[in-house]
Chains A and B, each alone.
Chain A
Amino acid sequence: MALTGCSAGGGGEQADGGVGPITFASGKDLTGAMPQLIDTWNAAHPDEKVTFLELSASPDDQRNSFVQDFQAKSGKYDVLWNDVVWTSEFAAHGWLEALDAGDVAGDAVLPAAVASATYDGKIYGAPFMTNAGLLYYRSDLVPTPPTTWDELLADCEIAKQNDMDCYAGQFNQYEGLTVNVAEAINSAGGSFLSEDGTTVTVDSPEARAGLQHLVDMFADGDINPAGITYQEQESANAFLEGKVLFLRNWPYVYTAASAADSVIAGKFDMTTLPGKDGPGVSSLGGINLGVSAFSKHKTTAKAWVTWMQSEEAQRVLVSVMNQASVLKDLYTDPELVKVSPYLPTLQQSELTAVPRPQSPNYNAVSLAIQKNAYAALQGNVSVDEAITKMAADLQQAIAQ
């Protein structure tokens, strides 16, 4: 069969059956363990070698690189490290290859992770890594962790007595703010968009109550005024230095907090996020491995992303990379729980986690949430005005 140009057809039409070397474009590998995973695969598949291409550490820069590659239809990146919130956008543009749900979205995979890879009823990425927010607290000062906001606020007295700040999260105007605001609003029973992403649902008393909770914590001094500039690392530092009683963050802080030289080692614990009238709801983070629609070796690419989800690869993910697996069983695996005691708690958080609003215009949606919530947290506008404006901005964002 003759090669008819280099245009990307379906995997089956490719002359070599879509088998051959592929390139994996990844975010910066902060764990240093990715080459280990890739070497394992390459040793077993010498004709289908994976080349590891590390991009920027900044998700925005990664996304720009991917978008440019897609727009040029270059197929230079066969497999892409997709943040969960990009799936809808990339899939809607026709840039990702649909995958077989039986291969990468089976019963062994966490349902929330599968939902994050789903667009228009099809699977557009192999869930690889997942993530949910946890509440870190000082177990030496707080005997029983709070499960509701009222209990959390009551515990703020303990912070005052110890001359600490009560709470820290991510409130700088960036993607992390969307995550934190979404958690507050979801935990109060509100939402942003309908499930199909076509209707704005944020203009509700529940959403107002959720945002009000964060605004009140700033106004009452339960969150340090400097908290408005915090991203993940700044907020983690405040907790690691023993300056704050409660911290909302991802599981990765555990490693630094429990290290031998940490001032809070042995003095902290983790629980699920509190909510308005009961347990709260976490936003879902994580990475899905997408196969480019312009890849020239799709068969290999699909086989590799499936392998990356296998137990063999996922064990390395949990034990070496210290990241959260997408496989349910690994959360209760005694060997892994010994290394990462928070795994059962994290699973609880992930089972109830809600993906951030799913929309092909996700960045515009997120910007609408960030801008208006930020103005309310600063006290520049009332919660009521912020939510009303957020609804109008979201309407514009999804209409485009």
Chain B
Amino acid sequence: MSAPRSSATRRPRSDGRLAFWLVGPALLVLGVIIGYPVISSIVRSLFGDGIGESPFVGFDNYARALWGFGAPEFWRSVGITYLFAGVTIVLETVIGMLMALVMNQAFRGRGLLRASVLVPWAIPTAVAAVLWKWAFDPAGIINALTGSTIIWTGSEVPSIVAIIIADTWKTSPFIALLILAGLQVVPDEIYEAAKIDGANAWQRFWRVTVPLIRPAIAVAVVFRLLDALRMYDLPQIFTQGANGTATLSILAVQSTLSQLKPGYGGALSTLTFVVIFITAFVFVRLLGFDAVSRAERQRGER
């Protein structure tokens, strides 16, 4: 653990310069691989599309997406993106919490359980998507086991449900892992003290465990929120964005690559970024925690 900030009151100037040179290359690389594409995409979004020279069109591409011809499609994408993010995060947090509580118990075979729970998270999303697509085939294993005849990828609601199931399967272990890390720093003495005070298991969970792992949950949820709002691979492989499952990322890729409209696609990417940024900002502010520093502070207090 690094030294507390308060002790580093005055550093010699040469330290600062050394730090600059140490961080410099990393900043340069970040600038080249992140800064340049982001800025060029924003600049490109101010120019028109089509064949030949691209004229400067100001914010026309944005207007087209927000209230112009592309608006119904854009807002539908915003809606489905939030729906996916909202539902999957709630499911994954609940399931991930349960998994973490089980993994945190001491019993034979715990190592094996912990390893096997992580398998879905270790599988690349695209591969998991293909597996689930086969499972959800009209003649696939899901219909065979449940005896249903649902055409999973053939209409809107079943497609959305299928994608949510696949995403929950895939990502719950991630949340479980972060919550497990939180659980492991809760000392046993606190539980013993609570027991002596007469708290039952339920009370110990709600009054002791949950408040203490709240920072861990918050970090997990913020990570997932940022991730889920960028969802691309699952719907792309399941339906190629058909059946109302075109998320913002799918829409941006379709416009930029498939329809060769880098201007409009750039505008969509920028809007996606703004949407995610605002959501994360509001989320962190409204819920009144600064997830990262709270977690750090708590660790520091121990």
Contact = CB atoms under 8 A, between A and B. Distances in A.
Interface stretch (B10-18, B88-96, B107-115, B149-157): B149-157
A158 interface: no
Contact of A89 (B153, B257, B260, B261): B260
B151 A229 contact: yes
B165 interface: no
Given A92-B51, A173-B242, A396-B69, A226 B259 contact: no
Interface string A267-283: 00000000000000000
Interface in B76-133: none
A225 B150 CA distance: 9
Interface centre among B138, B156, B239, B254 (most CB of A within 10 A): B138
Contacts of B37: none
A360 to B, nearest CB: 6
B40 interface: no
A400 B50 contact: yes
Given A93-B51, A360-B51, A225 B154 contact: yes
A371 B261 CA distance: 18
Contact of B242 (A60, A67, A93, A374): A374
A378 interface: yes
Nearest to A365: B259
A83 to B, nearest CB: 13
A380 B257 CA distance: 28
Nearest to B136: A229
Nearest to A174: B240
Interface in A322-368: 360-361, 363-364, 367
A18 B195 CA distance: 87
A67 B256 CA distance: 11
B167 interface: no
B154 A378 contact: yes
Nearest to A68: B257
A228 B151 contact: yes
B118 to A, nearest CB: 31
Contact of B49 (A64, A89, A400): A400
A246 B171 CA distance: 43
B154 A226 contact: yes
B139 interface: yes
B6 interface: no
A357 to B, nearest CB: 15
Interface string B137-153: 11100000000010101
Contacts of A371: 242
Contacts of B137: 229
Between B139, B153, B154, the greatest number of chain A beta carbons within 10 A of the residue's beta carbon is seen for B154
Contacts of B151: 225-226, 228-229
A89 B50 CA distance: 10
Interface string B240-266: 101100000000001001111100000
Interface string A189-225: 0000000000000000000000000000000000001
A225 B49 CA distance: 39
A22 B260 CA distance: 27
Nearest to B50: A400
Interface in B14-71: 49-51, 69
Interface residues of A, number: 25
A64 to B, nearest CB: 6
Contact of B257 (A64, A370, A396): A64
B170 to A, nearest CB: 22
Contacts of B49: 400
A400 B261 contact: yes
A367 B261 CA distance: 14
Nearest to A92: B51
Interface string A64-76: 1001000000000
Given A174-B240, A400-B49, A400-B50, A226 B257 contact: no
Nearest to B139: A226
Contact of B239 (A173, A225, A378): A173
A380 B157 CA distance: 12
Given A226-B139, A378-B155, A363 B258 contact: yes
Contact of A60 (B154, B239, B258): B258
A62 to B, nearest CB: 12
A363 B149 CA distance: 33
B260 A229 contact: no
B154 to A, nearest CB: 4
Contact of A364 (B51, B139, B239, B259): B259
B154 A228 contact: yes
B255 to A, nearest CB: 9
A229 B138 contact: yes
Nearest to A377: B154
A364 B151 CA distance: 27
- Most interface-central of B153, B155, B257, B260 (chain A CB within 10 A): B260
Contacts of B69: 396
Interface centre among B50, B254, B259, B261 (most CB of A within 10 A): B259
A361 B264 CA distance: 14
A82 to B, nearest CB: 15
A396 B259 CA distance: 12
B51 A363 contact: no
A361 B51 CA distance: 9
Contact of B259 (A92, A93, A367, A374): A367
A225 B154 CA distance: 8
Nearest to B133: A229
A73 to B, nearest CB: 15
Nearest 3 interchain pairs by C-beta: A173-B242, A226-B138, A228-B154
Interface of A: 60, 64, 67, 89, 92-93, 172-174, 225-226, 228-229, 360-361, 363-364, 367, 370-371, 374, 378, 380, 396, 400
25 contacts: A64-B257, A93-B51, A172-B242, A173-B240, A173-B242, A173-B243, A174-B240, A225-B151, A226-B138, A226-B154, A228-B154, A229-B137, A229-B151, A363-B258, A363-B259, A363-B260, A364-B259, A367-B258, A367-B259, A370-B242, A371-B242, A374-B242, A378-B154, A378-B155, A400-B49
Interface of B: 49-51, 69, 137-139, 149, 151, 153-156, 239-240, 242-243, 254, 257-261
Given A93-B51, A225-B154, A363-B260, 10 more contacts: A172-B242, A173-B242, A174-B240, A225-B138, A229-B153, A360-B51, A370-B242, A371-B242, A378-B155, A400-B49
